[in-house]
Amino acid sequence: MTEVENKLPAETPLSPKKRAIIVGASSGIGAALAHRLADEGFLVALLARRAEMLEKLTNEINSKHGETRAINYIHDVTDYESVPELLKKIISDLGGLDTFVYNAGISVMVGLKKYDFEKDRQTFDVNLNGALAWLNPVAELFQNLKSGQIVGVSSVAGERGRVGNPSYNVSKAALTCYLEALRNRLTRYGVNVLTVKPGPVETDMIKDVDGVLFPISAEQAAGDIFNAMRKRKQEVYTSARWRWIMLVVRNIPSFIFRKMTF
């Protein structure tokens, strides 16, 4: 038994423990989901770069429950080579894995009339390549186990190419498409793949953006995600009204969309 495993509460028939990894857990939606999963009895492994934020969150969760329900690992998702070993270590520490959440994401603004490959590449490295680095080995594991749940936090922003932040739109469109492909591969093995499409959520990511439409709290987003996980849905918009807003937005003809400034 590893040192970390020793600290985790043991699973018993009357107290079954689900084990989850959240990549991108230090703030916002990831942190709120960490709380929610721990509240629901999960053991959670929390990953991100900011050590202090992760430590604070871990302590909050563990003192709230009076036992170790959260452990953390400092990790930068662009350190792709480290993923297979780290995944093995976390699974060994948790004593297994039932749920994997890829939530890490950045939005690097370029400017309405500007073009910047370096910023575009950073966006892709975190939002897409980091997701592939983690989801490939997790998909293979769950395929072999014939069980498990994958949750990918994409965005409504992936549904159209817009003037404001093209590379963010593309990174999320690609992530959504990749998650669909994973679902088509893995459903036959009993693995659920949930694509999360948030509209605006009040987190650090949008703190400098003015005039966002229908923002919700990170806790509300986490609640919607958890309900969708429980029902083993394939896709969830949070809040739910964004399903209908995006139905309209997806169908705005290009000759009108080209004149829009959002």
Q: In whole angstroms, give the CA distance from residue 95 to residue 73.
A: 16
Classify the C-alpha dihedral 64-65-68-70 as positive or negative: negative
Question: Is 50 one of the binding residues for ligand NAP (CB under 6 A)?
Answer: yes
- Reading across the β-sheet that carries 192-198, which strands appear in turn? 70-74, 43-48, 19-23, 99-102, 149-153, 192-198, 235-238
Among positions 214-253, residues that touch ligand NAP (CB under 6 A) are none
Angle between helices 218-230 and 28-39 (to 10 degrees): 50
- Least distance (Å) from ligand NAP to the CB of residue 218? 6
Identify residues 7-36 at the interface with ligand NAP (CB under 6 A). 24-30
Q: Which is nearer to ligand NAP, 67 or 204 (CB)?
A: 204
Q: How many H-runs (helices) and E-runs (strands) does the chain carry?
A: 10, 7
Query: How far apart are CB 231 and ligand NAP at their closest, in Å?
Result: 20
Of 203, 222, 226, 246, which lies in the binding site for ligand NAP, with binding defined by CB under 6 A?
203
- Annotated active-site positions, please? 168
Binding segment for ligand NAP (CB under 6 A), chosen from 8-16, 74-82, 176-184, 248-256, is 74-82
List Cβ neighbours of 43 (8 Å cut-off, separation of 6 or more).
Answer: 8, 9, 17, 18, 19, 20, 68, 69, 70, 71, 94, 95
Q: Is 49 in the site for ligand NAP (CB under 6 A)?
A: yes
| Shorter beta-carbon distance to ligand NAP: residue 104 or 173 | 104
As a whole number of angstroms, the distance between CA 178 and CA 171 comes to: 10
User: Are 200 and 212 in contact, with CB atoms under 8 Å apart?
Assistant: yes
Residue closer to ligand NAP (CB basis): 149 or 169? 169
| CB of 175 vs ligand NAP, minimal distance in Å | 8
Q: Which residues are at the interface with ligand NAP (CB under 6 A)? A: 24-30, 48-50, 53, 75-78, 103-106, 126, 153, 155, 198, 200-201, 203-206
